[in-house]
Chain A
């Protein structure tokens, strides 16, 4: 559940790479992409919850970051600045998707026919993970999938960011641009639904 931490020597490296990228060095920026791509994708997935949108949003965030590096005052703050870009683009994508759904231009979730790769996929994988004790686990997987489907967008985002991406509540608040209290409300309501799907005793 813990995210990979950036260690101090990596911070220096990131700062140097961001500095070079700012001067137009694409090879340096390519290295930066290598360091941040999985977390960028995971963060985007927290909001949009399907592979094509998460890929699209996170790649777009890198492009936007590169073009706007000159506006970054301290290259040492690249990570926090970049993740705000990812979160903002992901929220915009979600808003557009919801707008389209309202107009009935796309399916309800916008995910029809797409590969599930968020918590929904976790539930799918759990169903297949234990052939020996399969029945109880399959039942749980089915229930947890139902519970996940019943979460609001904000509950899903908070639960995904906490459980799969390992962000702290304070970080989630900054990325979702809501208060820590609101994050807790979404997170605990979401977790409560997951908890209700969890069996009372091991089979």
Chain B
């Protein structure tokens, strides 16, 4: 095992992910190679010295849970309204993208406004059949 081969094993070891079968080979190399042994120590220190993010206060988490539960109690907008919002927003998008007379800036502003409406009504997930790549493709087509 040479120093190059050991490089990945050093990371795996300090991350606690080294396979037991690899341990003897790594140990043997570290005994024979002071440079890799020093690097091993520095990597371990690097991982240990990265502090964890500060914990948020319990009051924050209580409010967090309350928000989730109150949204569930309130329930979604009725299906009719949601369908109307999706249909209207998509119709506007398609119209805008098909209209070559307006400026690109105006088109982007309209796209932004429609995306905001969709996000506001939390219906983006229902647009799985129109993924971002498709919007992108439409925009590219418009630009071209």
Contact = CB atoms under 8 A, between A and B. Distances in A.
Binding site secondary structure of chain A: helix
Interface string B5-46: 000100100011100000000000000000000000011011
- Interface size class on chain B is 35 or more
Contacts, number: 99
B76 to A, nearest CB: 8
Contacts of B11: 187-188, 191
Nearest to A188: B11
Contact of A96 (B8, B46, B69, B124): B124
Interface string A21-49: 00000100110011001100100000000
Interface string A64-102: 101000000000000000000000010010011011101
A1 B48 CA distance: 9
Q: Which residue, B51, B68, B136, has most C-beta atoms of chain A within 10 A?
A: B68
A107 B115 CA distance: 16
Contacts of B108: 103-105
19 contacts: A1-B16, A1-B47, A33-B69, A37-B61, A59-B71, A92-B124, A95-B132, A96-B115, A96-B124, A96-B132, A102-B136, A122-B51, A122-B53, A125-B53, A129-B51, A162-B15, A187-B11, A188-B11, A195-B46
10 tightest CB-CB pairs across the interface, nearest first?
A: A99-B132, A105-B112, A62-B68, A33-B65, A198-B46, A95-B132, A59-B68, A30-B69, A33-B68, A103-B108
